[in-house]
Amino acid sequence: MGVSPQETEEVPAKRAKLDDDYHAQPIKTKEAQVEPVIKKMSEYKITELLGQGEDGKTVFTKGIISGLEGPAVVLFETNSIDLEKVKMFLSEQSAIKLTMNNDIFNIFQLDPPTGTNSIKTTVIHPATPKLINKFTMKPSYFVTETAEMYETITRPYILNHLEDHKWVYNILEGKAEQDRFVTQVDDEKEGFVLVADLKWDMTTMENLYCLAIVQRRDLYSIRDLDQTHLPMLRQLQETCLTAIKEKFGVPRSLLRVYFHYQPAYYHLHIHFAHIRYQAGAPVIGKSVALNDVVQNITLSNEYYKNATMVYYIKDGHALSTELDKHNVIVRE
């Protein structure tokens, strides 16, 4: 960790506190007081190192939390992939503070006993198989999805696997992440909320990353969009770009605005990312620009109903299992 003997000796003096000062305390939300899913980092035991983020600055781990059933996924914002170094964060003397809770997602500020900078730590519990797979390093494969494949394989999969998007609904209903709200339009058909994504610290503008989540719950992906949705898309784009400029000083010329296909979750949302934010860079087989979507459905009402879409999917994803049943994915 690279601290001098002097720094090491000073840390206990700074932390000459009661044991409770190392423990996470409850936080209040709009609905109620939320108890931390974990009181101290020593309650977490790592069972597997899942992988590392694309930017090399986040380590993904899987483990168990003492006294709780089911696995947990814990993300540490550190560039160390050394499991032994990561385990140092689980010391009895690591102080943690719960800063955000939304359903199964919890963000803590972790202060290691070494006296190094605070580490943003995300605790997900209980972690579903889908979430565990999301953070596990596995090979991905490209899929060429025709309109027929979408109707016979993908859409039935979506309708049969509509998860409880409680964390999304908490945001839309103002029950969570209110301190990360940027702007919103409250309308049953054309409403949306723009929030700062949890991956962004809201201070480093070159890492700006926001999500616009539509209020409607019957739109799952760009496949569901047609000309009736153009007013919503245009209003959303203009409102969000204006709000980002007013609140953060970032002009629209420095922002990427796009969908993902396949999306990480099937509730329509749009990404707003700074052009210099590497993790938000366009990816072939995943990113579709909002301007392109608007242009395509303007030219053809059923463009995305009839289009052939190319995307990549990770091994182990539930949809890849369905695709394998139809021999869609070519692995050799």
Q: Which residues are CB-neighbours of 290 under 8 A, at least 6 positions away?
A: 233, 237, 257, 258, 259, 270
Residue 298 buriedness (CB in 10 A; 0-12 / 13-18 / 19+)? exposed
CA distance 154 to 318: 11
E-strand ranges in the chain read 27-28, 33-34, 44-52, 59-65, 72-76, 95-102, 105-111, 119-124, 140-145, 181-185, 192-196, 209-214, 255-260, 269-274, 287-289, 309-314
CA 39 to mean position of chain CA atoms: 23
Determine contact, residues 23/40, Cβ cutoff 8 Å.
yes
- Burial of 108 by CB count in 10 Å (0-12 exposed, 13-18 middle, 19+ buried)? buried
Taking the CA atoms of 216, 222, 223 and 226 in sequence, report the sign of the dihedral they define.
positive
Cis link prior to 126 (omega < 30° from 0)?
Answer: yes
Cβ atoms of 200 and 248 closer than 8 Å: no
- Is the distance from CB of 112 to CB of 125 less than 8 angstroms? no
> How many CB atoms neighbour CB 40 within 10 A?
20
Per DSSP, the residues of 193-230 read: EEEE-TT--SS-GGG-EEEEEES-SS--SGGG--GGGH
Q: Which residues are catalytic?
A: 269
- Residue position matching structure tokens 């030219």: 299
**What are the structure tokens assigned to 115, written together?**
């006296």
